């Protein structure tokens, strides 16, 4: 038996300090997406199968004991899994374990170190 949960897109954007104060605004019904626990959203599978190689993506997938994220460049895919090149090396993710996936912008430019004035 699978259960349905309403997930708010905006609830993930609340700053941590707001959550620590105990304030968590209830999501509006129009902002909720029904998600079946333990099942991959077909939109995530479609996205991963259609997006161009070399696209920077973030993929949330199931691991034993919870969820994990892979942020990096989509480098290869087969009919059952995809490989994302992350800062820590290539990460292979099975499509069956994917919960969410989306395209993300390129990383911000690194700031140059501040010059000390004399």
Domains present along the chain, CATH in parentheses: 1-38 (no CATH), 40-106 (2.30.30.520)
Alpha helices by DSSP H, listed for 13-94, are 16-20, 42-50
- Residue 25: the pLDDT is 53
The pTM (predicted TM-score) of the whole model is 0.60
The tokens for 89 are: 């090396």
Could you tell me the maximum CA-CA distance found in the chain, to the nearest angstrom? Answer: 69
- Residue 19: the pLDDT is 43
Comparing CA positions, the residue from 29, 26, 21, 22 lying closest to residue 11 is: 26
Cα–Cα dist 22/27, whole Å: 15
Residue with more model confidence, 36 or 90: 90
Cα–Cα dist 31/37, whole Å: 18
């Amino acid at each position: 038996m699978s259960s349905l949960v309403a997930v708010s897109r905006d609830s993930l954007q609340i700053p941590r300090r707001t959550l620590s104060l105990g304030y968590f605004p209830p999501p509006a019904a129009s902002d909720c997406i029904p998600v079946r626990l333990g099942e991959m959203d077909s939109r995530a599978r479609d996205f991963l199968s259609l997006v161009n190689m070399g696209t920077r993506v973030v993929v949330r997938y199931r691991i034993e004991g919870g969820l994990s994220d892979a942020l990096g460049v989509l480098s290869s895919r087969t009919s059952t899994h995809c490989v994302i090149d992350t800062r820590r090396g290539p990460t292979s993710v099975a499509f069956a374990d994917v919960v969410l996936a989306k395209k993300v912008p390129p990383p911000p430019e690194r700031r140059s170190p501040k010059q000390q004035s004399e």
